[in-house]
Amino acid sequence: MRIAMLSPIAWRTPPRHYGPWERVVSLLTEGLVRRGVEVTLFATADSETSGILHAVVPRPYEEDKTLDPKVWECLHISELFEMADDFDLIHNHFDFLPLSYSGLTTTPVLTTIHGFSSQRILPAYKKYNGKVYYVSISDADRSPELTYMATVYHGIDLESFTFNDCNGDYLLFFGRIHPEKGTREAIEIASRARRELIIAGVIQDQEYFRSQIEPRLDGQRIKYIGRVGPEKRNELLGSALALLHPISFEEPFGLSVVEANACGTPVIAYPRGSMPEIIHNGINGFLVKDVSAAAEAVERIGEISRRDCRKIAEERFSRDRMVDEYLGLYHQILEQTKREDHRPWGYYEVLSDLPDHKVKRIVVFPGKRLSLQRHKRRAEHWTVVSGNPLVIRDAEKISLNPGDSIDIPEGAKHRVSNPGDEPVVFIEVQMGSYFGEDDIERFEDDYGRAGDNVNQIKELAGTQVRWKSHTYERGRALHG
Ligand SMILES: O=P(O)(O)OC[C@H]1O[C@@H](O)[C@@H](O)[C@@H](O)[C@@H]1O
């Protein structure tokens, strides 16, 4: 399986400090490579991977302000899509922009939506709904206007987070310094609980930091220590009494919450966004509605077992679980979009799959025959390339030679067999309103498959057959 993994270019993959999307891409990439998957990582040139790194962007644009993000984003994304044929699947972590290239390739595109920066980006996702496969990172982050293949929670590298069984004595705020992350509320909670607070993270909103945070720092009970790298992060998280996470937005997923748990540290959070999916109240933290409830929760923190926090992180948020789930989705997509299919009688290859027709090259092995069948929504036209097939079409029996053609109208019962010693090869052109394999009603079959599709046919006559008909929907979308 050849996967093209498209990472953002704001930061290095993996990031040196901050960069949650890049961090997840790196964890997934390395996990897949360990499982023997061939992954080409499209990321900044200073990125590190045990897969194949393909880079056109010299450095992260957040670290080198001379780089124009728009220009380098274009070059980065187009580089991958110009090579799309080299891959079985493209896994996009780059938000909505790559969607606009997806119609130009038949390589399936899976997009992990890491969050909606605003509702204004939704039109781009809506346009490609049903054409690109979407994955949400929590149920809370789903848009009701999109169809998702699955929710895959992020996983972390549990080995880089050391379990610490001892309660520390300080509270920790760990994340972007921004009003939506609740840095100011964390200070209020700590003050009310009369506990020391350490604040760590990048300052994303300078004005907020200057006016709301800085004046409240005293360097002793309330300290800001800047952003921290992996080693310090492990120590900081593990030695804290609790992580404070009083967010004021619908956070799609909280990596720091899971990381704190992995070190044994419980989390006190506001129940916004994905928090109720990550925190089981009273087990690995507390969900509280305001500053005073959070201060009370600090007093009750001893009720939480640090070992249970670690256990939850291990069971629900490991990198291996994330890799397993994505691998499962990759297989599912490849199965749905595969162009070659092996059957007990031979095999076929899809040569073209467009909204108004589908073309197959069908090979029937000597002495074998297909099922006796009919289609509700397509007619077929066959041209024999080699061999001498025998065709049943309703009451007729017709022998064909290379160069001969035959029409199978919609609804006609038909069957093709190969009575000869050489393979029969013919080209099939399908015309109609639906070309899925579930529009085959089998009446007789040498391989015990007769009757298999009866229920599907009924559904098909109605409206939608969910992911089963995706190939068609995708075909329509890709080329329509
Ligand atoms: O039902 P089986 O025997 O596998 O045959 C399935 C095949 O039948 C042929 O008549 C065509 O309709 C093909 O498009 C189809 O793939």
Nearest CA to ligand 1 atom 9: 370
Strands 133-136 and 148-151: parallel
- What's the fold here for domain 158-312? Rossmann fold (3.40.50)
Q: Which atom of ligand 1 is nearest to the CA of 445?
A: 3
Ligand 1 center to residue 475 CA distance, Å?
A: 19
Ligand 1 center to residue 343 CA distance, Å?
A: 9
Given a contact cutoff of 8 angstroms between Cβ atoms, the answer to whether 383 and 404 are in contact is yes
C-alpha angle 240-246-248 in degrees, rounded to nearest 5: 155
Ligand 1 center to residue 368 CA distance, Å?
A: 13
Number of residues that this document lists for the chain: 480
Q: Which atom of ligand 1 is nearest to the CA of 348?
A: 16
Nearest CA to ligand 1 atom 15: 437
Q: Which residue has the tokens 């110009």?
A: 82
pLDDT of residue 452: 66
Strands 346-354 and 357-364: antiparallel
Which residue among 370, 376, 426 has the greatest number of ligand 1 atoms within 8 angstroms of its CB, and so is best to mutate?
A: 370
Q: Which atom of ligand 1 is nearest to the CA of 345?
A: 3
Alpha helices in 229-384 (DSSP H): 230-238, 255-262, 275-278, 291-299, 306-316, 319-337
Q: Which atom of ligand 1 is nearest to the CA of 416?
A: 10
Contacts of 315 (CB under 8 A, 6+ apart): none
Nearest CA to ligand 1 atom 1: 371
Contacts of 354 (CB under 8 A, 6+ apart): 475, 479
Contacts of 331 (CB under 8 A, 6+ apart): none
pLDDT of residue 451: 80
Does this model's pTM top 0.80? no
Helix (H, G, I), strand (E, B) or coil at 30: helix
* Pairwise CA distance, residues 10 & 70, whole Å: 11
Q: Which atom of ligand 1 is nearest to the CA of 358?
A: 14
Q: Which atom of ligand 1 is nearest to the CA of 428?
A: 14
Q: Which atom of ligand 1 is nearest to the CA of 375?
A: 12
* Pairwise CA distance, residues 397 & 406, whole Å: 12
Q: Which two tokens stand for residue 226?
A: 């800047």
Full strand arrangement of the beta sheet holding 2-6:
52-54, 38-42, 2-6, 89-92, 109-113, 133-136, 148-151
Q: Which residue has the tokens 């899976």?
A: 110
Ligand 1 center to residue 236 CA distance, Å?
A: 62
Write out the H or E segment, with its range, that includes residue 49.
Answer: none
Ligand 1 center to residue 479 CA distance, Å?
A: 24
Given a contact cutoff of 8 angstroms between Cβ atoms, the answer to whether 87 and 38 are in contact is no
Bond prior to 14 in cis (omega within 30° of 0): yes
Greatest CA separation for the chain: 93
Which residue among 359, 373, 417, 430 has the greatest number of ligand 1 atoms within 8 angstroms of its CB, and so is best to mutate?
A: 373
* Pairwise CA distance, residues 111 & 102, whole Å: 10
* Pairwise CA distance, residues 294 & 439, whole Å: 58
Given a contact cutoff of 8 angstroms between Cβ atoms, the answer to whether 113 and 137 are in contact is yes
DSSP 35: T
Contacts of 82 (CB under 8 A, 6+ apart): none
pLDDT of residue 468: 27
Q: Which two tokens stand for residue 389?
A: 């097939």
Write out the H or E segment, with its range, that includes residue 479.
Answer: helix 470-479
Ligand 1 center to residue 247 CA distance, Å?
A: 56
Ligand 1 center to residue 463 CA distance, Å?
A: 23
Ligand 1 center to residue 2 CA distance, Å?
A: 29
Which residue among 345, 413, 440 has the greatest number of ligand 1 atoms within 8 angstroms of its CB, and so is best to mutate?
A: 440
Strands 222-224 and 240-245: unpaired
Architecture of the domain defined by 343-479? Sandwich (2.60)
Q: Which atom of ligand 1 is nearest to the CA of 408?
A: 10
What is the domain partition of the chain in residue ranges?
2-151, 158-312, 343-479
Q: DSSP labels for 5-25? A: EE--SSS-SS-SSS-HHHHHH
Cα dist from 78 to 5, 7, 62, 90, 312, whole Å? 13, 13, 20, 13, 40
Q: Which two tokens stand for residue 383?
A: 């041209």
Cα dist from 110 to 18, 61, 134, 137, 424, whole Å? 25, 25, 6, 13, 37
Ligand 1 center to residue 26 CA distance, Å?
A: 42
* Pairwise CA distance, residues 151 & 196, whole Å: 37
Q: Which atom of ligand 1 is nearest to the CA of 447?
A: 3
Q: What is the pLDDT along the chain (480 residues), one digit of tens a residue?
A: 999 999 999 999 999 988 999 999 999 999 999 999 999 999 999 999 999 999 999 999 999 999 999 999 999 999 999 999 999 999 999 999 999 999 999 899 999 999 999 999 999 999 999 889 999 999 999 999 999 999 999 999 999 999 999 888 999 999 999 999 999 999 999 999 999 999 999 999 999 999 999 999 998 999 999 988 878 899 999 999 999 999 999 999 999 999 999 999 999 999 999 999 999 999 999 999 999 999 999 999 999 999 999 999 999 999 999 999 999 999 999 988 877 889 999 999 999 888 789 999 999 999 999 999 999 999 999 999 999 999 999 999 999 999 999 999 999 999 999 999 999 999 999 999 999 889 999 999 999 999 865 444 444 433 222 222 333 333 333 322
Q: Which two tokens stand for residue 269?
A: 């959070």
Strand partners, 173: 199
Residue ranges lining ligand 1, Cβ < 6 Å: 343, 345, 348, 360, 370-371, 373, 380, 428, 437, 440, 442
Best CA proximity match to 269, nearest among 294, 238, 301: 294
Do the domains at 158-312 and 343-479 have one common CATH topology? no
Q: Which two tokens stand for residue 81?
A: 């899509």
Ligand 1 center to residue 374 CA distance, Å?
A: 9
Backbone angles phi, psi at 437, to 5 degrees: -70, -15
| Interface confidence: ipTM more than 0.85 | yes
Helix (H, G, I), strand (E, B) or coil at 222: strand
Helix (H, G, I), strand (E, B) or coil at 174: strand
Q: Which atom of ligand 1 is nearest to the CA of 415?
A: 10
- What's the fold here for domain 2-151? Rossmann fold (3.40.50)
Nearest CA to ligand 1 atom 10: 415
Given a contact cutoff of 8 angstroms between Cβ atoms, the answer to whether 409 and 396 are in contact is no
Ligand 1 center to residue 149 CA distance, Å?
A: 28
Ligand 1 center to residue 478 CA distance, Å?
A: 24
Ligand 1 center to residue 392 CA distance, Å?
A: 13
Ligand 1 center to residue 225 CA distance, Å?
A: 66
Q: Which two tokens stand for residue 251?
A: 């956070």
Q: Which atom of ligand 1 is nearest to the CA of 371?
A: 3
